[in-house]
Amino acid sequence: MIKKSLILLFLSFCFVSAFAQTQKPPLHGKHWMAITGKPLGATAGAMIFNQGGNAIDASCAMLAAVCTMWDVLSWGGETQALIYNPKTGKVIAINAMGIAPTGATVDFFKEKGMTYPPEFGPLAATTPGTPGGLMTILAEYGTMSLEQVLAPAMEMAKGYPIEAQTANMIERNKDKIKEWPYSKKVFLPHLGEEREAPYAGEVFVQEDLYQTLKKLVDTEKAALASGKSRKEAIYAAYERFYKGDIAAEIVRGAREQGGLFTMEDFAKWKVKIEEPLKVNYKGIDVYKLQEWTQGPALLQSLNILENFDLKSMGYNSANYINTVYQSMSLAFSDRDFYYGDPDFTPKSPMKGLLSKEYAKDRAKLIKEKNDPEIGPGDPYPFQGETNPFKHLLVNRKEALVYDRPELPIQGLDDPFLDHFLAGTTSIQAADAEGWVVSITPSGGWIPATIAGNTGVGMSQRMQSFVLDERLNPFNVLEPGKRPRVTLTPSMALKDGKPFLSFAVQGGDTQDQDLLQLFLNIVEFGMTVQEAAEAANIHNYQIQSSFGAHESKPGSITLNNQVPAWVRKDLQNRGYKPNMLERTSGPLNAIWFDWKHGTFWGGSSNHGEDYGIAW
């Protein structure tokens, strides 16, 4: 009897230990908070806050730092942001996604025998968006100069101790990197040796990038000296990047390596300040970027899930997982067919897609067992129109790619899983004045093609276009068009005040993780750190936005903590689980404690994301 009591006591202790505290401590702050994908990146934000900058200034410094650190992005990539402006009480959307260059047509790639634009190389590149996005955000809403916010990144470009994750990624991809002369020059300082990439902790120098950033700062200085305002001086640097000698060298370097950029492509591109899309979930307004991102899929999922009593199902029960999985399949199948650049025709039927009535109609399709046949719905009647693309829906399956759906995912080294989890980084910042920033930048990840002697890695986002209108008539490649991207920062307001600012890396899994983080807090009462570390699921029934664009209906990632009986129940419902130790994102988030006037920060235990607060 004593032995049995001791066993029960031990099991009770283990249970309490597992749930009593998180693996990372929550962040608490009163004045400011800075979170991003790398510890040094968060330090850059903290430096700017300590110099008197606001959350805009700090977020720009973090963006510059993580671009310089190649945190699954580069300076030639793209930037998407949501900003809460305390002066107006409104959420602003920043669209700094590059465009397809001149000559990037469906026929061009089909003549090369491609079914999608390539995954890597100069032909994968859209025009750079991040430099323009950073300078626009800073000019419009910041307080500091470009010189001040670029200072940490410029010091890093002169040489910083590179972390193991990036150094080893370079080494793994060195054969690909050697195909491009300017990439080889930057990434492989030990060319010809057994290890050609930098070693972890080695000082990694990017002199070309430093000179590019210095040109921007020099232009700003000259503009200020001539009597220009802070804002005008930053835009003078913007002009030099997109219309001056920097643009000329990027175009030259890209074309030398087989790219399509022209000076006109750079000159006509502009950052867009947009109205975000939103839905209300149980009194909380949730904001996402427009349909050129996958963001509205989260809004559609929330609309669908509002028709179910999720709390009564229990966190990560079989019923809960089944309902959330199928809500994702419904929303993402609409993403895969209806989302695209709203500046081009046809225009996505967003009124219908985001209507509560359409969501109720879709929610009726959720079954006790997984439905591998879930496909796009018809939102047009819910905005008083007739669907002009019904004929494409009929034969759409003929164009889809399935990656041996009968085979399970093998693990983290599975190429299929690698495409779905292909990362970016995320940036969260908030200050006592009320500014809140959520950014999900990406593009130009390793192995990146560096454009000439600029140190700027080119984007790989062209691969997210389709060349067959049966797949998505709204996202067919055209010059000057933005691809439908996975990048998707998030923000939520309650009673007109910031409630949650959140973002995550992870390709097609981003809005899956963000949806679950939100539900963890709203439905299950988790703290933001608990929610950031919680055991999420991943759905692979959706179409990948990368590589060969495969799908695996019914495949699901579960956390190792999911009990065997739940796993068995899901298998009986038609799911094919693969198990991972950590399935938490990696998520970054800030929750606003209005009762005490403080911030709570959460940063997942999954990757190298890190935060600092004061």
The predicted pLDDT at position 498 comes to 98
The predicted pLDDT at position 21 comes to 85
Nearest to 150 by CA among 304, 142, 470: 142
Confidence of residue 2 (pLDDT cuts 50, 70, 90): very low
The predicted pLDDT at position 396 comes to 84
Answer yes or no: do 188 and 330 share one domain. no
The predicted pLDDT at position 605 comes to 86
Residue 362 in any domain: the answer is yes
Residue 234 in any domain: the answer is yes
Please state, for a pLDDT cut of 70, what percent of the chain lies above it: 93
Coil, strand or helix: which one is 280?
A: strand
The predicted pLDDT at position 405 comes to 59
The predicted pLDDT at position 399 comes to 77
Confidence of residue 419 (pLDDT cuts 50, 70, 90): low
Answer yes or no: do 390 and 306 share one domain. yes
Answer yes or no: do 459 and 547 share one domain. no
Answer yes or no: do 257 and 141 share one domain. yes
Judged against a pLDDT cut of 90, whether residue 17 lies above it is answered with no
**Average pLDDT rounded to a whole number, residues 343-362:** 98
The predicted pLDDT at position 415 comes to 62
What is the crossing angle of helices 318-338 and 564-572, to 10°? 50
Answer yes or no: do 352 and 487 share one domain. yes
Residue partners of 469: CB distance under 8 A and separation at least 6: 392, 476
Coil, strand or helix: which one is 480?
A: coil
Residue 296 in any domain: the answer is yes
Answer yes or no: do 253 and 299 share one domain. no
Answer yes or no: do 213 and 74 share one domain. yes
Answer yes or no: do 366 and 282 share one domain. yes
Answer yes or no: do 295 and 354 share one domain. yes
The predicted pLDDT at position 422 comes to 60
Answer yes or no: do 199 and 63 share one domain. yes
Q: Is-contact 610 29, C-beta < 8 A?
A: no
The predicted pLDDT at position 6 comes to 37
Residue 334 in any domain: the answer is yes
* Distance of alpha carbon 136 from alpha carbon 63, whole angstroms: 13
Residue 23 in any domain: the answer is no
For residue range 253-272, what is the model confidence (pLDDT) as tens digits? 999 999 999 999 999 999 99
Residue 172 in any domain: the answer is yes
The string of DSSP codes covering 542-608 is SPPSSTT-EE-TTEEEEETTS-HHHHHHHHHTT-EEEEES--STTEEEEEEETTTTEEEEEE-SSSS
Q: What is the CATH number of the domain that holds 363?
A: 3.60.20.40
Residue 410 in any domain: the answer is yes
Answer yes or no: do 264 and 340 share one domain. no
Confidence of residue 400 (pLDDT cuts 50, 70, 90): confident
* Distance of alpha carbon 407 from alpha carbon 410, whole angstroms: 9
For residue range 211-235, what is the model confidence (pLDDT) as tens digits? 999 999 999 999 999 999 999 999 9
pTM for this prediction: 0.94
Answer yes or no: do 261 and 350 share one domain. no
The predicted pLDDT at position 87 comes to 97
Judged against a pLDDT cut of 50, whether residue 614 lies above it is answered with yes
The range of the structural domain enclosing residue 300 comes to 276-427+481-613
Per the structure, the count of domains in the chain is 2
Q: Rounded to a whole number, what is the distance in angstroms from the first to the last CA of the chain?
A: 52
Judged against a pLDDT cut of 80, whether residue 243 lies above it is answered with yes
The predicted pLDDT at position 289 comes to 98
For residue range 181-204, what is the model confidence (pLDDT) as tens digits? 999 999 999 999 999 999 999 999
Tell me the residue length of the chain: 614
The predicted pLDDT at position 3 comes to 42
